[in-house]
């Protein structure tokens, strides 16, 4: 089996020693090439080349941004078609970031050594699963995407990104962006099949549950959402402090069941459309894509095969 290991040396939990151990372990079972990323977009380019070069497996060692780039590279040529998991290289993940939401949602260990051990056994035993993904404005996402408040937070963290990135930085930025939204707080219009358009102040789109993690604690928005269903939509008609605190408490509970008069929630959606009267920040998998006045989010079943 031919494989490529893509390592982001700038990710929070990656080290040169860990990279060498991982590479040595994989090389014992695979015909392996190792690539260290040098700039944003590099992992995507490597994965795109691998998809066109009959590579069987691409392993991403880094954070969620590295995984997202690899996924987008692997699927760059399939045009959003469902059920194409067996036509592109498989994905392997060894967590190396601060949150590792995609890996943890799949049940992978957070520790890179344990994750490597599990990956090797999965390769030996030919274990894998197909997962559905989201596609938004031409960009694939594995666990979440959004416009507005969450993307403002991502933009703020991005300006300070580095080895010290962690839950406390995200929390501080969430509070700062709530108190002083960078682009104001324009109304967002959400459209889903079978429902009337609704105006909200913030909207989160999920491809799985949990939506994210706050350190060791999962943040639940759409608990019915999974890699085997459509997209989840969680939106609030208003952002008064009591509303925000109510749903924050609910999001941090084990069952994550949300209730509230200002809540708009949908599960298992094949498509979601969000529009804004002016440009707002847009993020996928915790990476800022830019600003948009409208984005269509599409659920793509069986888009990728992950070695587990």
Each residue's pLDDT expressed in tens, for the chain with a length of 308 residues: 999 999 999 888 888 888 898 999 999 999 999 999 999 999 999 999 999 998 999 999 999 999 999 999 999 988 778 888 899 999 999 999 889 999 999 999 999 989 999 999 999 999 999 999 999 999 999 999 999 899 999 989 888 765 456 778 888 899 999 998 876 789 999 999 999 999 999 999 999 999 999 888 999 999 999 999 999 999 999 999 999 999 999 999 988 789 999 999 999 999 999 999 999 999 999 999 999 999 999 999 999 999 99
Looking at residue 234, what is its pLDDT? 97
Q: Which token pair is 245?
A: 């605190």
Q: Given this model, what pLDDT does residue 229 score?
A: 97
Q: Which pLDDT score is estimated for 263?
A: 97
**Cβ(283)–Cβ(146) below 8 Å:** yes
Name the CATH topology of 2-126: Rossmann fold (3.40.50)
Going by their DSSP bridges, the two strands 287-307 and 198-200 should be labelled as unpaired
Q: State the Cα–Cα distance between residues 67 and 104, nearest whole angstrom.
A: 12
Q: What pLDDT does 123 receive? A: 95
Instruction: Decide: 89 and 304 in contact? Cβ < 8 Å.
Output: no
pLDDT, residue 285, reads 97
- Hey, what are 177's tokens? 């962006």
pLDDT value for 131: 97
List the domain boundaries for the chain.
2-126, 141-300
Give whole-number Cα distances, 125 to 8, 119, 121, in Å.
27, 10, 6
CB–CB of 142/285 below 8 Å?
A: yes
Structure confidence by residue, pLDDT tens digits, 136-145: 999 999 999 9
Pairing relation of β-strands 2-7 and 57-62? parallel
Cα-Cα-Cα-Cα dihedral sign, residues 71, 157, 191, 264? positive
C-alpha to C-alpha distance for 300 and 227, rounded to whole angstroms = 10
Q: Report pLDDT for 17.
A: 86
141-300 sits in which CATH class? mainly beta
Residue 287 in tokens? 């990476």
State pTM to two decimals.
0.94
Residue 20 and residue 16: Cα distance in Å, rounded? Answer: 6
- 75: CB partners within 8 A, 6+ apart: 51, 84, 88, 133, 140, 303, 304
Rama region for 142: left / alpha / beta (φ>0; ψ in -120 to 50; rest): alpha
| Burial state string for 44-53 with b = 16 or more CB within 10 A and e = fewer than 16 | bebbbebbee
The whole-number pLDDT of residue 80 equals 79
């Amino acid at each position: 089996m031919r494989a490529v290991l893509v390592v982001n040396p700038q990710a929070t939990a990656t080290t040169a020693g860990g990279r060498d151990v991982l590479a040595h372990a994989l090389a014992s079972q695979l015909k392996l090439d190792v690539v260290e990323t040098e700039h944003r977009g590099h992992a995507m380019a490597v994965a795109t080349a691998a998809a066109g070069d009959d590579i069987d497996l691409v392993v991403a060692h880094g954070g969620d941004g590295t995984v997202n780039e690899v996924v987008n590279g692997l699927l760059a040529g399939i045009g959003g078609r469902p059920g194409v998991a067996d036509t592109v290289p498989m994905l392997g993940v060894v967590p190396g970031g601060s949150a590792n939401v995609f890996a943890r949602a799949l049940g992978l260990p957070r520790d890179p050594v344990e994750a490597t051990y599990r990956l090797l056994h999965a390769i030996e035993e030919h274990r894998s699963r197909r997962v559905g993904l989201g596609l938004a404005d031409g960009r694939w996402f594995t666990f979440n995407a959004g416009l507005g408040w969450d993307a403002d937070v991502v933009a703020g963290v991005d300006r300070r990104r580095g080895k010290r990135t962690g839950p406390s930085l995200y929390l501080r930025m969430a509070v700062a962006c709530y108190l002083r939204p960078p682009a104001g707080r324009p109304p967002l219009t959400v459209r889903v099949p079978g429902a009337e358009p609704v105006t909200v102040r913030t909207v989160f789109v999920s491809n799985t549950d949990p939506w994210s993690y706050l350190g060791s604690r999962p943040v639940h928005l759409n608990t019915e959402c999974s890699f085997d269903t459509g997209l989840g939509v969680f939106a609030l008609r208003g952002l008064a402090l009591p509303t925000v605190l109510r749903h924050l408490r609910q999001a941090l509970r084990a069952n994550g069941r949300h209730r509230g008069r200002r809540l708009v929630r949908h599960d298992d959606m094949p498509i979601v459309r969000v529009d804004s009267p002016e440009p707002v920040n847009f993020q996928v998998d915790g990476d800022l894509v830019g600003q948009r006045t409208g984005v269509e989010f599409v659920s793509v079943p069986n888009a990728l095969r992950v070695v587990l």
